[in-house]
Homo-oligomer: A and B are copies of this chain.
Amino acid sequence: MTTLLPAPDLAQLDALDARDPLAHKRAEFDLPGDIIYLDGNSLGALPRCVPARLSQVATEEWGHHLIRSWTRNAEAAQDWMALPDRVATKLAPLLGAKPSEVAVGDSTSVNTFKALAAALRLSEQQRGGQQEGGRRVILSDADNFPTDLYMAQGLARLLGDVEVRTAPGDDITEHFSDEVGVVLLTEVDYRTGRRLDMRAITAAAHARGIVTVWDLAHSAGAFAVDLGGAEADFAIGCGYKFLNGGPGAPAFLYVAERHLDRAEVVLSGWMGHADPFEMARAYAPAPGARRFVVGTPQVLSLSALDAALDVFGDVDLGALREKSLSLTDTFIRLMEPLREKHPLELVTPLAHAERGSQVSYRHPHAQQVMAQLIECGIVGDFRTPDILRFGFTPLYLSHGDVGRAVAGIAAVLDELEGPA
């Protein structure tokens, strides 16, 4: 593939990379050399530390120490029992949370169910019990990631008296009403990359007595999330995107400390019990968000996430966000000439405050274009109906990668549609 970028552009990309404070992080990932990976918002790349950790967990902790690993080295918090809490402690700073506010495990979908059920109950409690015709609406973004809507629909079917209502995410606050008990929003839209104002929307929700559940699938690890500062009530998110925890990595749930003493655990399993090995017949919740851990954690997957999070240990989250914006700004700027030649519509906001760590374009033949791009080693995503989605993980992408990607996109579009 011939690089089509003008020399001044290339020089500028080199200059940006030369002063990138996160440039050294790329070496911590095992990325194939023949692709440019713009899909870390779907599945984060493999941190080099993970395979060794997996091997150690399998052969030593499982194979050699066997059942003893559940409690072994508990004094050093190296026991499997404490593994969810250890991971929560690493996650908390990325979320603007305290470790005791974070529970790690299960899938994002299952955590959405837990959070919605707890939020509905909290909404009732805040009004002194369920009233007839009370706030039984879960409001969400019509364009929310489908599983969020599906899980809300499942809870509504189970309860019978709950309605799932959707409205456009961009003016969601206009749909806040006295019927709404809970609002479920994804901070960064999975298709457009549009970032909502978590703080303002949460404040507006609270002003109307509405409990918030934030999905951080495309936020956690992409930039500093500030759940505490935003006074969010509940949040959920995904371990396998910008957190690089591996395919289907365990997810997380956040519950604000002020709600913890009355946060209702619907999926009340033994690993969220105050004393699991007491084997009591009645459930009693563990202190803190740990109560939202349900069954036995999938230790292999959880250990991979645990190791992967170490990559964030020395990362300044301000620098992470700055580089993310620089990468997406650069991509948008370099793509501009292509928009004049090809039917590309930028759907990601230009305003930094409204942007996550991805850039998306509509294209009438998006599915075909993306298939061809992937064929050429430029790995992004197609999303229905017509979205080309490019994710930018600041830990392992350079401005040079962005330049090479744009050159490749130009070549593919020219080949498919003919140059101008």
In this assembly, does A282 line the interface, its C-beta being within 8 Å of a C-beta of chain B?
Answer: yes
State the number of copies, please. Answer: 2
In this complex, the member of A277, A295, A379 whose beta carbon has the largest number of chain B beta carbons within 10 angstroms is: A295
Q: Is the CB of B381 within 8 A of A295?
A: no
In this assembly, does A313 line the interface, its C-beta being within 8 Å of a C-beta of chain B?
Answer: no
CB neighbors of B among A290-304 (8 A): 294-302, 304
CB neighbors of B among A30-50 (8 A): 30-32, 35, 37, 39, 42-43, 45-46, 50
In this assembly, does A247 line the interface, its C-beta being within 8 Å of a C-beta of chain B?
Answer: yes
Q: Is the CB of B62 within 8 A of A55?
A: no
> In the complex, what residue of chain B is closest to A282 when comparing beta carbons?
B153
Q: State which of B55, B251, B270 has its C-beta within 8 Å of the C-beta of A146.
A: B270
Complex Cα distance, B151 from A106, in Å, reads 15
Q: Is the CB of A147 within 8 A of B67?
A: no
CB neighbors of B among A274-317 (8 A): 276-283, 294-302, 304
**Inside 8 A of A106's CB, which chain B residues have their CB?**
106-107, 110, 295
CB neighbors of B among A363-399 (8 A): 374, 379, 381, 383-384
Q: Is the CB of B374 within 8 A of A248?
A: no
Complex Cα distance, B147 from A302, in Å, reads 21
Complex Cα distance, B106 from A379, in Å, reads 30
In this assembly, does A207 line the interface, its C-beta being within 8 Å of a C-beta of chain B?
Answer: no
> In the complex, what residue of chain B is closest to A302 when comparing beta carbons?
B248
**Inside 8 A of A151's CB, which chain B residues have their CB?**
267-269
Q: Is the CB of A153 within 8 A of B300?
A: no
In this assembly, does A5 line the interface, its C-beta being within 8 Å of a C-beta of chain B?
Answer: no
Q: Is the CB of A45 within 8 A of B58?
A: no
In this assembly, does A265 line the interface, its C-beta being within 8 Å of a C-beta of chain B?
Answer: yes
In this assembly, does A142 line the interface, its C-beta being within 8 Å of a C-beta of chain B?
Answer: yes
Identify which of A155-163, A252-260, A330-338, A342-350 touches chain B.
A155-163
Q: Is the CB of B66 within 8 A of A55?
A: no
Q: State which of B39, B64, B68, B107 has its C-beta within 8 Å of the C-beta of A294.
A: B107
Q: Is the CB of A58 within 8 A of B54?
A: yes
In this assembly, does A115 line the interface, its C-beta being within 8 Å of a C-beta of chain B?
Answer: no
Q: Is the CB of A157 within 8 A of B374?
A: no
**Inside 8 A of A50's CB, which chain B residues have their CB?**
58
Complex Cα distance, B253 from A149, in Å, reads 23
In this complex, the member of A70, A157, A384 whose beta carbon has the largest number of chain B beta carbons within 10 angstroms is: A157
Mind listing 29 A-B residue pairs with CB under 8 Å?
Answer: A45-B66, A46-B62, A46-B63, A50-B58, A51-B55, A58-B304, A62-B247, A66-B379, A70-B247, A106-B107, A108-B295, A108-B296, A110-B110, A110-B267, A110-B294, A146-B273, A146-B276, A146-B279, A147-B270, A147-B271, A149-B281, A154-B283, A155-B266, A158-B158, A158-B159, A247-B298, A248-B302, A249-B298, A301-B301
Top 10 closest pairs, chain A to chain B, by CB: A107-B295, A109-B295, A109-B269, A46-B63, A247-B299, A147-B270, A154-B268, A298-B301, A150-B283, A248-B296
